[in-house]
Amino acid sequence: MSVESITTNDLRKMGDKEGLILQGCGGEIKEWIDGINTMLTDAGILLNGTKFEKVYTFQNDNLTNILYPFDDVELDIGKLAMWRLATHPQFYGTWLSDYVPNYLGGFVTEKQKPDCELIGQDGNIFNLMGIASKTLRENGMKEEATEMCNRIRASGSYDSALCIIGEYVNITGPDTEIDVSDLNFFDELEYDSWDLFLKYCDAMGIEVSDRDEPDWYTAKTIQDKVLDVIMESGIKLNFDRDLEESESPSLG
């Protein structure tokens, strides 16, 4: 059984879903889930042993409401419609497709995340938040900008805040390509890669028999992975030749 708390903004993004909303659900949510599952099963509405395993709760007009989505259940919709009408004075049940237009102003179309150049910027989280917020507002997403900022301020860590920013914008790097064709220090950095590898092995209690002579294949693999991650993050690097054909030492 899963209970997820959502906002009314989340509800407005569910235009492709349908479900039953019960309003004014005080007390334990689990009791509501078990009770409705039992009632609808006994009434022949929930079919073939299916039941509501995941529900959503949300607050509106100082009421706690529950959304029972129809995604993973088999229903006799005709019987459910009659049951909803008969129990309306008790549960104030309504369809998701009716509730959102009548109480929340209608469904909204999920907007595409805009690109936001954050890589290479001052990493202070409030600076990044300001840049991302400005990008959202420039793309007509003022509510999303406010929501993002509120979530970032309430987050408990720098990493969590970065993840939240990534939910709203596509984090990109500079469009300009960085020319590294004249840099000849990659071979030297393979020594640093080997030292880093040894530190990780030591931390995890892994014994490396020959520590003095680097395993060049391992060192170069680590270096190549670092460069791959840099480029996958959106930073464009221009090499004068493919790294695989570099003059780095190899085991062969």
The verdict on 8 and 86 lying in the same domain is yes
The verdict on 59 and 84 lying in the same domain is yes
The verdict on 92 and 36 lying in the same domain is yes
pLDDT tens for 63-119 read: 999 999 999 999 999 999 999 999 999 999 999 999 999 999 999 876 788 999 998
Q: What does pLDDT average to over the chain?
A: 87
Domain boundary (172, 188, 211) is at 172
Domain count, the chain: 3
Residues near 141 by Cβ (< 8 Å), separated by ≥ 6?
A: 111, 114, 168
Residue 252 predicted with pLDDT over 60: no
- Position 245 scores a pLDDT of 45
Domain boundary (58, 75, 103) is at 103
The verdict on 119 and 209 lying in the same domain is no
The verdict on 79 and 7 lying in the same domain is yes
The verdict on 154 and 132 lying in the same domain is yes
Task: Provide the residue range defining the domain that includes 134.
Answer: 115-172
232 in a structural domain: yes
Statement: the pTM of the whole predicted model exceeds 0.75? no
The verdict on 12 and 73 lying in the same domain is yes
The verdict on 39 and 80 lying in the same domain is yes
pLDDT tens for 209-239 read: 888 888 888 888 887 888 777 777 666 777 6
pLDDT tens for 151-202 read: 999 998 999 999 999 999 998 877 666 666 655 556 677 788 888 889 988 9
Residues near 21 by Cβ (< 8 Å), separated by ≥ 6?
A: 65, 66, 67, 68, 93, 94, 95, 96, 99
The verdict on 148 and 162 lying in the same domain is yes
Residue 63 vs residues 16, 27, 58, 92: alpha-carbon distances, Å: 24, 12, 8, 12
